[in-house]
Amino acid sequence: MRNILGAIAGCVLAMAGCSAQAKALSANDRQACNWGSQIAAEAQQAKLSGVTLYATRKKLQVRRFAKPWMRMTAFGITEQTYNSRSRLKPAAIKKTYYEQCVQHAVAKR
């Protein structure tokens, strides 16, 4: 019983820490992490569907991006996703990417 309560307490503390980190980020950082996680999820979906990297890159070339840095970053995220051996679902990729992006942005400060 103590182990279960300890585990629950640890999870609550970890979740509180994540929300505190997310609040410490600027709106731009949160937006960039959210955007990148969406690109990674889309790339994972394409990969799992059997779409080639070449075809996915062609789609990115015609896509409009709000900022100049987004195009090359999207290519990089997509290529890393395709090179990964991961078979996780796109939602799990999106969540993982966002969490790691937030950790990176907080550590960078």
Cβ neighbours, 10 Å, residue 74: 23
63 is in which domain, residue-wise?
Answer: 26-108
Angle between helices 2-24 and 90-108 (to 10 degrees): 70
Residue 36 has pLDDT above 80, yes or no: yes
**What percent of the chain clears pLDDT 90, i.e. is strictly above it?**
75
79's CB contacts (< 8 A; 6+ apart) are 53, 57
- CB–CB of 33/62 below 8 Å? no
Domain count, the chain: 1
pLDDT tens track for 45-87:
999 999 999 999 999 999 999 999 999 999 999 999 999 999 9
Residue 21 has pLDDT above 70, yes or no: no
Give domain status of residue 44, yes or no.
Answer: yes
pLDDT at 15 (0 to 100): 46
Give domain status of residue 81, yes or no.
Answer: yes
pTM: 0.78
* Confidence class for position 24, pLDDT limits 50, 70, 90: confident
Which is more confident, 37 or 9?
37
Residue 25 DSSP label: S
Question: Rounded to an integer, what distance in angstroms lies between the CA atom of residue 24 and that of residue 11?
Answer: 20
